[in-house]
Amino acid sequence: MMPASAIFFYVIAAAILVTAILSVTTRRIFRAAIWLLLSLMGIAGIYFWLDMNFLAAVQIVVYVGGIVVLIIFSVFLTQGSGQSLPLPAKFRLFFSAVAVSLGLAFTIWILQGYGFLATAPEVPAVEMREIGKTMLSVQSGGYALPFELVSILLLAAMVACIAIAMKIPADKKND
Amino acid sequence: MFLKEYISDVYQGVRSLLKGMKKTGYYFVHPSEIITQQYPDNREQLHLPERFRGEVVMTHDENNEHACTGCTACELACPNGTIKIITKFDVSPEGKKKKAIDTFIYHLELCTMCNLCIEACPTDAIKMAQTFEHSVFNRNLLTKKLNLPNSKIREGVE
Amino acid sequence: MFSFQQLAQQTHAWLQQHTGSFTVLVECAIVAVFAITLFAVLGLVLVLLERKVAAHIQIRVGPNRVGPAGLLQTVADTLKLLMKEGLVPNLADKFLFNLAPFIVMMVAMLLLAPVAFARGIQIWDINIGVLYISAISSISVIGILMAGWSSNNKYAMLGAMRSGAQIVSYELSAGFSVLCIVVLSGSLRISDIIAAQENGWWIFKGHIPVLISFVIFIIAVTAETNRAPFDLAEAESELTAGFHTEYSGMRFALFFLAEYINIFIVCAIGATLFFGGWMPLHIAHWEGFNHVMDYIPSSVWFMGKTFALILLIMWFRWTFPRLRVDQLLTLEWKYLLPIGLFNLLLVAIIAIMGWHF
């Protein structure tokens, strides 16, 4: 008999697969975005199931709260987003089927070759404090440099946004 | 200076918001301020304001006499044809003919309670009553005859 | 003395004995039943409370005919909504139209998980508690966008777009004010944050910066729950009802219920962060006073604080006029966000120097 945690895993995994397939096969662009959202939430569910709470929360904040909302906003701005898209051409269907089967075969091959451990080693509970310290640590294994790089990138993007959105007063325009 | 302006903006904004909240908070904790009338329950002690206009009535004194001369000033003043006056000629004992009203017809369903007829009346024969429970099952009941049966004009009213 | 904590532990032990590895499934079912019951009761109570508060603020009497003093008014309203026909517009995207209210409801249910109702009564004491809440609450915007888009109605669409812009921008301010408390408590876990307030609530211990962050928090969550004065998403006078214009019957009731549940949850979070959740009012070194306060059950403390905050938010709603869209964004980006950032700096200094009590 399956333990309860296995039931949870299979339910979540099935939800991820079904919604992922639906998101690429649906012909309405807004529905595709919603299926993608549900699929990403399923992945967050898997992280919660693995007790990787921080990763799960970040998955939701970044992908669900951020990227999917951006996608939905751009769908709103698309003309005719309510109609069904036409079916793709035959040769495109053929080549995407080939690409998908090749990818699937490659993944299965990698999984077959990977020696899974029969019993997983005890995963240490990741404390938020540790994550925060590692993020700002300058020792080896610390993430201070990538963290600062990303901050500078974001700052540059924000300055650029202000530059685009800023209104130049009419009397200064001619100078 | 920018910063000073900014801080004073925030201060003024918060102050005016708190002022509004103080007023509504006062009403919230003072139920005695409630002005709602619980209508069907307080029908006995219901007090309507003096200038409340319910419907047009004609005043009659104890001798069943009214002050309407049938001059039709109210009929002319009415903006939507609520009043219709049917006149007749009374013959006095001396054989003189005198104009008087036969029927003062008032269409309550058309009336907007604008008070123009009351203002137009030269003899104060009609006034606004305080009654307001006008609902009836038949529309015909809203067409009213204001002068009482066998009533006549008061002596001395011209 | 009877306590919920004991009851929960006994139930857990009994279930472990009888159902073995399926304990977790059975407990999930029990929690779901409790959550749904809580939702139904809260919906009835909060709607009635709102109508009564609104009436008293506007010098009216409010519902007073159904049942004693109008207490059964919301029950009657619910019965009416249950029996109404749920219409679906002809050109709507029917699948998403039907799904949207449930997404909104599901988000509200997920948010319930880390809320500590009393000493030891918490569905899931997750170690990222506060982060979990801000993550999950960012999903609620999807339900609103979905409802607005699938209705195929311009009012609904405009309402949804406004609501999206509003929730996405006010999430930042709410996040910053929550961070202030996280910095002071040194933990994201809800139970740790409550334990840190054993000798006094943060609103008293943290000086003026915590007070400022509380004000920012209460403004930001009012905006996030789409309530007046930030109710642009459903502004009756301009957009009829915004994103739920086309909804009727039970689907409308779900949106309505979710709004009130969200108010309860954000007020519960506010009470937990700033007023110590179920922690009684303790003042350091006043042993006698602290003992007296401990006699009041912790669930009463929690509910009292939460309902006090709910009343505050209702007071806002019936006092202030609605903002325009540009005023809404000016308030967030020019006032709340810079003040919140500066305030976080002050709180960090207080926490590092140990100036809080």
Give residue limits of the domains in chain A.
Answer: 4-125, 127-170
Q: What is each CA distance from C15 to C7, C11, C322, in whole angstroms? A: 12, 6, 52
Q: Looking at CA atoms only, how far is residue A121 from chain C in angstroms?
A: 21
Read off the pLDDT band of A7 (50, 70, 90). confident
Residue A172 pLDDT exceeds 70 = no
Q: Which two tokens stand for residue A15?
A: 């939800």
Integer Cα distance of B107 and B82 in angstroms = 5
What's the Rg (C-alpha) of chain C?
A: 21
For chain A, which chains pass the contact test of at least 3 CB pairs under 8 Å?
Answer: C
Whether residue B64 sits in one domain with residue B119: yes
Check CB contact under 8 Å for A82 and C142. no
Residue type, A105: A
For chain B, which chains pass the contact test of at least 3 CB pairs under 8 Å?
Answer: C
Integer Cα distance of C37 and C258 in angstroms = 14
In a domain, B46, yes or no: no
In a domain, B98, yes or no: yes
Residues of B in contact with C318 (CB under 8 A): 24
Read off the pLDDT band of B157 (50, 70, 90). confident
Read off the pLDDT band of A156 (50, 70, 90). very high
Provide the pLDDT for residue A147: 87
Residue C2 pLDDT exceeds 60 = no
Check CB contact under 8 Å for A53 and C127. yes
Residues of C in contact with B20 (CB under 8 A): 319-320
Read off the pLDDT band of A124 (50, 70, 90). low
Q: Whole-number mean pLDDT of chain A?
A: 82
Integer Cα distance of C219 and C229 in angstroms = 10
Question: Residue ranges per domain, chain C?
Answer: 1-83, 88-353
Write down how long chain A is.
175
Provide the pLDDT for residue A19: 92
Q: What's the mean pLDDT in C70-99? A: 84
* pLDDT tens digits along C223-274: 888 887 888 777 777 777 777 888 888 888 888 888 888 889 889 988 888 8
Provide the pLDDT for residue A120: 61
Q: Which two tokens stand for residue B58?
A: 């004609």
Residues of C in contact with A82 (CB under 8 A): 93, 152
Residues of B with CB under 8 A from a CB of C: 10, 17, 20-21, 23-25, 27-28, 31, 33-36, 38
Residue C357 pLDDT exceeds 70 = no
Which of C135, C171, C186 lies closest to A60 in CB terms? C135
Q: Which two tokens stand for residue B97?
A: 């003919």
Residue B147 pLDDT exceeds 70 = yes
Neighbours of A113 (CB within 10 A): 7
Residue A123 pLDDT exceeds 80 = no
Which of B10, B23, B28 lies closest to C56 in CB terms? B28
Whether residue B119 sits in one domain with residue B78: yes
Provide the pLDDT for residue C18: 73
What is the extent of the structural domain holding B79? 55-153
Q: What is each CA distance from B140 to B126, B134, B135, C165, in whole angstroms? A: 22, 12, 12, 58
Specify the 3-state DSSP secondary structure of B150. coil
Q: What's the mean pLDDT in C90-106? A: 84
In this complex, whether B and A touch, counting 3 or more CB pairs under 8 angstroms, is no
Provide the pLDDT for residue A99: 92
Provide the pLDDT for residue B146: 85
Check CB contact under 8 Å for C132 and A53. yes
Q: What's the mean pLDDT in A26-37? A: 85
Alpha helix ranges (H) inside A116-143: 128-135
Residues of C in contact with A76 (CB under 8 A): 145, 149, 157, 161
* pLDDT tens digits along C299-356: 888 888 899 999 998 888 888 888 888 888 888 888 888 888 888 898 888 888 877 7
CA atoms within 13 A on the CB side of C329: 7
In a domain, B42, yes or no: no
Provide the pLDDT for residue A82: 67
Which of C61, C319, C339 lies closest to B24 in CB terms? C319
Return the CATH number of the domain spanning residue range A4-125: 1.20.120.1200
Q: Whole-number mean pLDDT of chain B?
A: 85
Q: Looking at CA atoms only, how far is residue C212 from chain B in angstroms?
A: 12
The distance in angstroms from the start CA to the end CA of chain B is 78
Residue C4 pLDDT exceeds 70 = no
Q: Which two tokens stand for residue C49?
A: 């409370």
Residue B12 pLDDT exceeds 60 = yes
Residues of C in contact with A30 (CB under 8 A): 93, 96, 149-150
Whether residue B94 sits in one domain with residue B16: no
Provide the pLDDT for residue A125: 64
Residues of C with CB under 8 A from a CB of B: 53, 56-61, 64, 315-316, 318-320, 335, 339
Contact B87, B75 (CB under 8 A): no
Q: What's the mean pLDDT in A131-151? A: 83
Read off the pLDDT band of C163 (50, 70, 90). confident
Check CB contact under 8 Å for B20 and C58. no
Provide the pLDDT for residue A81: 66
Read off the pLDDT band of C23 (50, 70, 90). confident
Residue B158 pLDDT exceeds 80 = no
In this structure, the dihedral spanned by the alpha carbons of residues A5, A8, A14 and A19, taken in order and rounded to 10 degrees, is: -140
Q: Whole-number mean pLDDT of chain C?
A: 83
* pLDDT tens digits along B42-65: 888 888 888 888 888 888 888 888
Provide the pLDDT for residue C259: 86
Check CB contact under 8 Å for C141 and A65. yes
Q: Which residue of B has its CA nearest to C336?
A: B10
Q: What's the mean pLDDT in C25-29? A: 79
Please give the share of chain C, as a percent, with pLDDT higher than 90.
1
Please give the share of chain B, as a percent, with pLDDT higher than 70.
99
Interface test with C, best of B9, B24, B41 (most C CBs within 10 A): B24
Provide the pLDDT for residue C42: 87
Integer Cα distance of A153 and C170 in angstroms = 23
In a domain, B103, yes or no: yes
Whether residue B61 sits in one domain with residue B138: yes
* pLDDT tens digits along C131-143: 888 888 888 888 8
Tell me the pairing of strands B97-107 and B83-91. antiparallel
For residue C256, give the H/E element and its range.
Answer: helix C249-275
Does B5 or A130 have the greater pLDDT score? B5
Residues of C in contact with B24 (CB under 8 A): 57, 315, 318-319
Interface test with C, best of A58, A128, A167 (most C CBs within 10 A): A128
Does C28 or B8 have the greater pLDDT score? B8
Please state the φ and ψ torsions of residue A166, each to the nearest 5 degrees.
Answer: -70, 140
Residue A30 pLDDT exceeds 90 = no
**For residue B114, what are the contacts with CB-CB under 8 A and spacing of at least 6?**
B79
Check CB contact under 8 Å for A69 and C168. yes
Q: CB distance from A127 to chain C under 8 Å? A: yes
Please give the share of chain A, as a percent, with pLDDT higher than 90.
16
Please give the share of chain C, as a percent, with pLDDT higher than 70.
97
Contact B129, B57 (CB under 8 A): yes
Interface size, chain B vs chain C, as Cβ–Cβ contacts under 8 Å:
34
Q: Which residue of C has its CA nearest to B16?
A: C320
Q: CB distance from A80 to chain C under 8 Å? A: no
Provide the pLDDT for residue C283: 73
Check CB contact under 8 Å for C146 and A34. yes
Q: Which residue of B has its CA nearest to C55?
A: B28
CATH of the domain at B64: 3.30.70.3270
Check CB contact under 8 Å for C142 and A68. yes
* pLDDT tens digits along A86-119: 777 888 888 888 999 999 999 999 988 887 776 6
Whether residue B115 sits in one domain with residue B62: yes
Q: Looking at CA atoms only, how far is residue A7 from chain C in angstroms?
A: 10
Q: CB distance from A33 to chain C under 8 Å? A: no
Interface test with A, best of C126, C183, C191, C337 (most A CBs within 10 A): C126
